[in-house]
Amino acid sequence: MVPYVKKNFILVLTIVLFSFVVSSSYANFSMMVTKDEIDTICTKESIDSSICYELLKPISKFATFDFSDLVKFLIKYQSRNVSDAMNQIKLSAGNATDLQTIDLCVELYEDALHDSDLSLKALADKKYFDVINKIIGLDTVISTCTDELVQMKPRLEVLIKRSNVIRKIPSIIFYILQCYLAKEKTKC
């Protein structure tokens, strides 16, 4: 099995985390999300623009969303996707030759759902550092499953594609946390 930790991802996130340690906890919750801000978010280099717009465009119609609501929405959306992917993995078991991979992925996706719940709780408590940590955990377990799935025969293409889409969501969440909810807007 591949190592649980994705080194380059962790490295990048360590930088993000550092700025969080320094800057979290003075957020301005009265700030509503504007269409311009959604444009700013979705055109960032680190973010997949088409997925970002697909997720956030409908939001610009709800004037009552602040950035915390937005993060909550994204975490819940991602969680539903994880849950759907897990169900699909379970259904694939009937066709698969490699039940070990299937079992591993089901277990990993259960972990991801647990992390997702914890991240929502941390968000409600305004513990943004913890939110980041849980989302990193979630992303790591999903990528671990994907690494196993790509080696499995027959390849479950739909599932691989799906998990690659799910993995585009954390960078949007990180950007909003870092640039709108943290006190000091570093690297934005």
> Given the rule CB under 6 A, which residues bind ligand NAG?
28, 30-31, 77, 80-81, 84, 91-92, 95, 162, 165-166
Task: For residue 119, give the amino acid letter.
Answer: S
Nearest by Cα to 77 from 132, 32, 119: 119
Q: Which is nearer to ligand NAG, 81 or 101 (CB)?
A: 81
Q: Phi/psi zone of residue 126: left (φ > 0), alpha (ψ -120 to 50 degrees), beta?
A: left
CA dihedral 147, 149, 153, 157 (to 10 degrees): -110
How far is 166 from 105, CA to CA, in rounded Å? 14
> Nearest distance from residue 163's CB to ligand NAG, in Å?
8
> Nearest distance from residue 7's CB to ligand NAG, in Å?
26
- What phi and psi, each to the nearest 5 degrees, are found at residue 127? -95, 80
Q: Which is nearer to ligand NAG, 131 or 181 (CB)?
A: 181
> Nearest distance from residue 3's CB to ligand NAG, in Å?
25
> Nearest distance from residue 165's CB to ligand NAG, in Å?
4
Q: Which is nearer to ligand NAG, 91 or 188 (CB)?
A: 91
